């Protein structure tokens, strides 16, 4: 139940329900601030973890939901998206854009919608897992739900 969740995860929970996503937020006993840690805690392939990475591009935040099995090729992605440059956002930029800390950034529950790219390789998993606002919380959803939830553009990120 959302009342037992950390405040940031309650915001995510409410955003999920408003978007019609039914996956329940799971509170992990240990922080899972990396895809490898989250996959190990959940007993799933690292590729089924939807890493929420915040970049700065053309003077705005850009959320990239990438498979935990990938590193984003920022130069190739910038070219695909027609952007001048994509670079990793600072800790302060991530917090300002999402209201959440690095290692727990969810694909939703932000102060304002973010331009989002969803890694096309996440479509290869029946269930994917994303952070739910803190490094201790995650939730399951489908690829189609992730794309709908974020309004994201599906693209190759490597």
Picking from 155, 156, 134, 128, the residue whose alpha carbon sits closest to that of residue 21 is 128
Q: How do residues 6-32 score in pLDDT, each as one tens digit?
A: 999 999 999 999 999 999 999 998 888
> Sign of dihedral through CA atoms 117, 32, 47, 132?
negative
List of residues 6+ apart from 86 with CB closer than 8 A: 55, 56, 57, 62, 72, 74, 75, 77, 78
Q: Which domain holds residue 68?
A: 2-155
Instruction: Report residue 79 as tokens.
Output: 């070219």
pLDDT digits over 26-76, tens only? Answer: 999 888 888 999 999 999 999 999 999 999 999 999 999 999 999 999 999
pTM of the model: 0.94
State whether the Cα torsion 40-42-43-48 is positive or negative: negative
> What CATH number did the domain enclosing 11 receive?
3.90.960.10
* Ramachandran quadrant class, 109 (left: phi over 0; alpha: psi -120 to 50; beta: rest): left
State the pLDDT at residue 32.
87
pLDDT of residue 90: 96
The proportion of the chain whose per-residue pLDDT surpasses 70, expressed as a percent, equals 98
Q: What are phi and psi of 156, to 5 degrees?
A: -75, 135
Q: Rounded distance, CA 100 to CA 102, Å?
A: 7
Looking at the 3D structure of the chain, how many domains does it have?
1
């Amino acid at each position: 139940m959302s009342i037992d969740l950390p405040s940031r995860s309650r915001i995510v929970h409410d955003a999920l329900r408003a978007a019609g996503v039914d996956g329940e937020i799971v509170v992990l006993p240990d922080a899972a601030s990396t895809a490898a840690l989250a996959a190990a805690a959940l007993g799933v392939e690292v590729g089924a973890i939807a890493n929420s990475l915040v970049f700065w591009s053309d003077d705005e935040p850009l959320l990239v939901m990438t498979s935990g099995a990938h590193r984003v090729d920022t130069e190739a992605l910038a070219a695909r998206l027609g952007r001048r440059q994509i670079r990793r956002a600072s800790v302060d930029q991530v917090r300002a854009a999402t209201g959440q800390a690095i290692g727990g950034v969810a694909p939703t529950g932000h102060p304002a919608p973010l331009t989002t790219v969803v890694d096309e390789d996440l479509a290869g998993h029946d269930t994917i897992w994303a952070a739910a606002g803190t490094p201790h919380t995650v939730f399951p959803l489908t690829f189609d739900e992730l794309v709908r939830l974020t309004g994201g553009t599906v693209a190759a990120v490597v």
